[in-house]
């Protein structure tokens, strides 16, 4: 299971970083989504991967599932979800304002000259 | 337990939803509530500053959950100073923005209050994950403020880059936190400071990676080289009052780095070279800027560089000079961005571009304000910039490589001086022709761009001048009372480096 989770986190992080470095806003949004998925898995794994364990300490000598990372993941999911929505709204607005999906910063005159007629 | 401690978070957290839900259509009432809330924050900030100046570290366990398990707020000298600074800058920036900026888009006041709430929370919290949450609160509010009032494609794109950059930073923060939690099993900062010393050697590498990532995240927030690339584009394109408020936001990163460095001494070996590089980039940028907004952004960078030189000293004496410079830099940056906004509002068609233009209204008074703030920023006597730089230079005397530090600081100060003198003479001295003369001489001047601001904002100068004057009076106070203030900062830095006292105050002595 460790191998599976580690591979999933690694793949999603790699894909996320690749997409993040592209010049289109849509790719950046996808990349950030991938990255936050990877981060959520990663936080989850920080509480150790256990199966079929209680999340409260019943037997102090036995193992238990750490509930704190699960609570942290919940917070992280909510925040990243909201942020993805905001990012999408801003990309759409940027597309309508400048007529292109590029994320680079132009000087104002370049944007005017590139404006669709 | 002193319940006033949670007020700087609670007050804006109550007022902001009220502003969104109940009085979103009444701008006058919204202004009254927003200003009232900011005054309240200033009063509470002053009270807490008085409390903290006795040197005790006070804690507030939220929900009365005992510290290592529940979230704890910690008020020491540094937190109190930052709270007071935030409240003062927030109030004066708000005073400036009610002259018109708050009407250009919706929800300015609630976002502003949420931003203050996030800032206050970040300065008070003693829990790593809670710090992340308050970072998000202040960032989410800043995303909204960044694109407040539309502002065309450039501002939206700058906002988009700002959001993408900060979301990546937040992801890194979470990764760092998960790494640290997986080794230590705690997120309470005091508990962490205690536990990192008795980590098993096998887990030490994970902890180091976590600490390095955490340092990187805070360096990103405070625009330390090479993570500074986002700052000029963001600040120069943000609305004036918002950029002024953002002057506190970079200081949140500095504050977090100070906490990290004093509690765990992570990342110290990279701070000095990065700080000097930031200083060089900032001062070259001041010379190369094509608009006053850009120049102010690079001046911000240069001041961050000086600040980090002081922090890299890793002793209380150096850190105290850095804290003095931190207050100075926050006030200067806030003021200069308000002046940039005044120039843009009064020069329709030319904005803040560093080119000659015909005379414009209020030129004289804006020139006076720019001169005052430029003197403070460049570190020319007699204002606090000079005192702050002298203090930083003195504190670096003991470093082995002090000739390097001194020469970089001197040369960059000179660059800053030349750049500011150039923009001042271009914007105020040489704009001395009437519109008709100007059109005759410069027949090939391009038509003014479309985004010229409505002329209604041109005549109002009293309230903006009062707001900027208030910020300037704080700089004067900082200069006149330099000796008591730097003594207080000395005590603050000593308290910070006594990490055992911090741990004991939060967790209790017996643990």
State ipTM.
0.88
Q: How far is B180 from chain A (nearest CA, A)?
A: 9
Q: Are B93 and B338 in contact (CB under 8 A)?
A: yes
Does B129 sit within 8 Å of A75, measured CB to CB?
yes
The answer, for A80 touching chain B at a CB cutoff of 8 Å, is yes
DSSP B295-308: HHHHHHHHHHHHHH
Write phi, then psi, for B446 (nearest 5 degrees): -65, 155
Q: Tell me whether residues B161 and A47 touch, CB distance under 8 A.
A: no
Nearest-by-CA chain B residue for A80: B167
CB pairs under 8 A between A and B: 103
CATH class of residue range A2-114: mainly alpha
- How far is the C-alpha of B329 from the C-alpha of B85, rounded, in Å? 11
Residue B99 token pair:
């002259």
Which residues of chain A lie closer than 8 angstroms to B168, CB-CB? 20, 32, 35
Domain extent listing, chain A: 2-114
Between residues A32 and B106, the one the model is more confident about: A32
Both structure tokens of B220: 């990103």
- Tell me if B160 and A97 make a contact (CB, 8 A cut-off): no
Could you read off the pLDDT tens digit of each residue along chain B, which spans 511 residues? 678 888 899 999 999 998 888 887 888 888 888 999 999 999 999 999 988 888 888 888 888 888 788 889 999 899 999 999 999 999 999 999 888 788 887 888 899 999 999 999 999 998 989 999 999 999 999 988 888 877 677 788 888 888 888 999 999 999 999 999 988 888 888 888 888 888 888 888 888 888 889 999 999 998 888 888 888 888 888 888 899 999 898 899 999 998 888 888 776 777 888 899 999 999 999 998 888 888 999 999 999 999 988 888 778 888 889 899 999 999 999 999 999 988 888 887 777 887 777 778 888 888 889 999 999 988 888 888 888 888 888 888 877 788 888 888 889 999 999 999 998 888 888 877 777 666 665 555 555 444 444 444 445 788 888 889 999 999 999 889 988 998 898 888 888 888 888 888 888 765 4
Contact A75 B182 (CB under 8 A): no
Question: What is the SS3 assignment for B291?
Answer: strand
Report domain extents, chain B: 278-480
β-bridge mates for residue B353, sequence order: B291
Considering only CB atoms, B136 lies closest to which of A48, A79, A93, namely A79
Distance to chain A for B168, nearest Cα, Å: 7
Inter-chain residue contact A86 with B158, CB threshold 8 Å: no
Comparing CA positions, the residue from B352, B355, B336, B353 lying closest to residue B344 is B352
Cβ–Cβ contact A50 with B under 8 A: no
Residue in A39, A79, A97 closest to B153 by CB: A97
Instruction: Please calculate the CA angle A65-A67-A69 and round it to the nearest 5 degrees.
Output: 110
Which among A35, A45, A75 has the least Cβ separation from residue B171? A35
Number of Cβ within 10 Å of residue B28's Cβ equals: 9
Residues facing residue B291 across a β-bridge: B353
């Amino acid at each position: 299971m460790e191998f599976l989770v580690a591979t999933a986190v690694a793949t999603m992080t790699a894909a996320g970083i690749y997409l993040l470095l592209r010049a289109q806003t849509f790719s950046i949004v996808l990349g950030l989504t991938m990255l936050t998925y990877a981060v959520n898995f990663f936080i989850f794994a920080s509480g150790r991967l256990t199966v079929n364990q209680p999340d409260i300490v019943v037997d102090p000598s036995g193992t238990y599932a750490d509930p704190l990372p699960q609570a942290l993941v919940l917070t992280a999911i909510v925040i990243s979800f909201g942020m993805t929505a905001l990012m999408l709204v801003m990309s759409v607005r940027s597309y309508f304002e400048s007529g292109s999906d590029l994320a680079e910063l132009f000087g104002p005159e370049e944007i005017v000259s590139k404006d669709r007629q | 337990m002193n319940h006033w401690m949670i007020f700087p978070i609670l007050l804006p957290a109550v007022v902001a939803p009220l502003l969104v839900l109940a009085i979103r259509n009444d701008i006058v009432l919204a202004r009254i509530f927003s200003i009232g809330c900011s005054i309240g924050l200033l009063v509470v900030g002053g009270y807490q500053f008085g409390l903290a100046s006795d040197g005790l570290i006070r804690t507030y366990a939220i929900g009365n959950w005992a510290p290592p398990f529940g979230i704890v707020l910690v008020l020491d000298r540094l937190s109190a100073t930052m709270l007071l600074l935030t409240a003062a800058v927030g109030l004066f920036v708000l005073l400036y923005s009610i002259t018109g900026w708050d009407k250009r888009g919706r929800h300015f006041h609630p976002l502003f209050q949420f931003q203050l709430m996030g800032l206050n929370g970040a300065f008070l919290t003693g829990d790593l994950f809670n710090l992340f949450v308050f970072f998000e609160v202040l960032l989410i509010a800043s995303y909204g403020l960044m694109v407040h009032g539309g502002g065309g494609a450039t501002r939206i794109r700058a906002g988009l880059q700002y959001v993408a950059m900060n979301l990546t930073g937040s992801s890194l923060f979470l990764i760092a936190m998960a790494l640290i939690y997986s080794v230590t099993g705690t997120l309470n900062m005091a508990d962490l400071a205690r536990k990192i010393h008795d980590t098993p050697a096998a887990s030490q590498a994970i902890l180091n990676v976590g600490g390095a990532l955490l340092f990187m995240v805070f360096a990103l927030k405070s625009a330390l080289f090479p993570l500074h690339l986002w700052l000029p584009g963001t600040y120069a394109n943000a609305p004036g009052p918002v950029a002024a408020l953002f002057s506190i936001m970079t200081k949140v990163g500095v504050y977090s780095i100070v906490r990290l460095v004093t509690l765990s001494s992570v990342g110290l070996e990279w701070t000095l070279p990065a700080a000097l590089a930031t200083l060089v980039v900032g001062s070259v940028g001041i010379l190369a800027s094509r608009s006053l907004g850009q120049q102010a952004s690079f001046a911000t960078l240069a001041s961050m560089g000086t600040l980090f030189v002081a922090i890299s000293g890793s002793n209380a004496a150096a850190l105290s000079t850095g804290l003095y410079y931190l207050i100075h830099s926050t006030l200067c940056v806030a003021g200069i961005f308000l002046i940039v906004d005044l120039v843009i509002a009064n020069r329709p068609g030319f904005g803040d571009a560093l080119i000659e233009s015909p005379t414009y209204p209020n030129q004289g008074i804006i020139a006076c304000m720019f001169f005052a703030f430029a003197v403070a920023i460049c570190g020319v006597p007699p204002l606090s910039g000079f005192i702050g730089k002298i203090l930083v230079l003195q504190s670096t005397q003991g470093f082995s490589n002090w000739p390097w530090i001194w020469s970089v600081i001197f040369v960059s100060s000179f660059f800053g001086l030349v750049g500011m003198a150039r923009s001042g003479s271009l914007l105020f001295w040489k704009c001395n022709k009437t519109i008709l003369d100007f059109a005759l001489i410069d027949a090939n001047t391009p038509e003014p761009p479309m985004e010229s601001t409505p002329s209604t904002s041109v005549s109002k100068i009293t309230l903006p001048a009062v707001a900027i004057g208030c910020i300037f009076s704080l700089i004067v106070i900082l200069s006149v009372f330099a000796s008591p203030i730097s003594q207080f900062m000395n005590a603050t830095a000593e308290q910070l480096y006594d990490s055992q006292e911090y741990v004991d105050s939060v967790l209790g002595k017996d643990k």
